[in-house]
Amino acid sequence: MRLGGFWGLMAAALLAGLAFAALTNNEYYFFAAYAILQALIMAIAWNILGGFTGYVNFGSAGFFAVGAYSTVALHKFLPSIGIDAPLFVHVLAGAVVCGLIGLGTGYLTLRLRGVYFAIATLALAIVGQTFMNNWGYVGAAKGTSILTPDPPQLFWGYVSFSSYVKYLFVVMLLLSLMAIVISRYIATSRFGRGLAAIRDDELAAECMGVPTLRLKLISATVMGALMGVAGAPYPFMVTFVDPQSAFSLVIAVNSIAMPMIGGTAYWYGPVVGALLLGTAQEVLSVTISSELNVFLVGVVLVGCVILAPRGLVGLVNDMRAKAKRHG
């Protein structure tokens, strides 16, 4: 993709999102779009470690939940010392906390490979859930409620939002675009080529001069930070957070399924997967039943693994290459 094409597309997505926010008033649409964008950021985050680096991670829901809980804790703590923090402080805090946890857990688990690594990450997510279940300050197992703040006035009152949900949607849109830019930058950089070498053959990569442990740790940190970014606004959206829903397996499975369906080797794979699957899930939830969307993920994932093991992007690329070869 040409450089101009990419930035043009990003600008178009931003403008379309803003126009949507300016012209629509039905809050449901913003809920739905928020859910899709949240999944998009998580898919991108998962793909940086799972797709680019080849370390399949089942703990993504854990990072997301820690991001959400960092907001819950800060939202409770900061007012108690007289500080009223805007949303971006919470997002930043979520990114830092989860980035550090990504680094720490990466240091513990990234010496393991394949199935062992996957199991270790799953175990760590359970450790996180157990911790939250017992941490009274953030509500422990019974959860905690958060009052939706008033929609903020930005730029000295020139920009205002009719509802907080709409504001959250715009924030999430910006964060999604940022995640896409980061992911694309990684994929096309020297760092990304190092990660690809690790994914293809870690020992060969190390012997070719790639500092594999350091690259894996950076990758885990970026993954964690982006997961935290996705989770931080979540409490304001749903207004009630408990460990059961924040650590939900559905969230974890979605963030794995979307990159797999889109294509893990490409920076735009998770974007394609999240937009298609996320939209389909929202539509199904409304038209048929909310249980069906979990079923949908399973069916589409199995279908993709069999028919398009390198994802939809890989499938389309293969088909184009074949068409080119045959004239």
Partner 1 sequence: MAERILSVKALTKRFGGFVALDCVDLQLDEGERLGLIGPNGSGKTTMINCISGALLCDQGTIIFKGADITRLAAHRRTRRGIVRSFQIPRPFRTMTILQNLMVPMEYAVAPGARGGDLETEARDILDVVGFRGRANDNSGRLTQVDMRKLELARALAAKPRLLISDEAMAGLSSSEVDEILDILFKLNGRGVAVIMIEHIMRAVFRFSERVVVLDAGRKIAEGTPAQIVKDPLVERAYLGV
Footprint on this chain of partner 1 (rule: CB under 8 A):
190, 193-194, 196-197, 199-201, 203-213, 265
Query: Cβ closer to partner 1: 200 or 291?
Result: 200
Query: Cβ closer to partner 1: 108 or 208?
Result: 208
Rounded to whole angstroms, how far apart are CA atoms 75 and 70? 8
- Closest approach, Cβ 149 to partner 1, in A, equals 46
Residue type, 86: P
Query: Cβ closer to partner 1: 192 or 224?
Result: 192
Task: State how far the alpha carbon of 105 is from the alpha carbons of 29, 66, 109, in Å.
Answer: 37, 13, 6
Task: Provide the 10 A C-beta neighbour count for residue 236.
Answer: 22
Query: Cβ closer to partner 1: 202 or 282?
Result: 202
- Closest approach, Cβ 195 to partner 1, in A, equals 11
Residue type, 144: T
- Closest approach, Cβ 186 to partner 1, in A, equals 14
- Closest approach, Cβ 205 to partner 1, in A, equals 7
CA 30 to chain CA mean position, Å: 18
Outline where the chain has alpha helix (H): 3-23, 27-47, 60-80, 87-109, 114-133, 164-188, 190-200, 202-207, 212-231, 234-238, 243-246, 249-262, 269-287, 292-307, 311-325
Query: Cβ closer to partner 1: 136 or 209?
Result: 209
- Closest approach, Cβ 27 to partner 1, in A, equals 44
Query: Cβ closer to partner 1: 123 or 315?
Result: 315
Q: Is the dihedral of CA 261, 266, 272, 274 positive or negative?
A: positive
Rounded to whole angstroms, how far apart are CA atoms 91 and 97? 10
- Closest approach, Cβ 213 to partner 1, in A, equals 8
- Closest approach, Cβ 206 to partner 1, in A, equals 5
Rounded to whole angstroms, how far apart are CA atoms 202 and 186? 18
CB-hemisphere CA count at 13 Å for 260? 21
Query: Cβ closer to partner 1: 146 or 265?
Result: 265
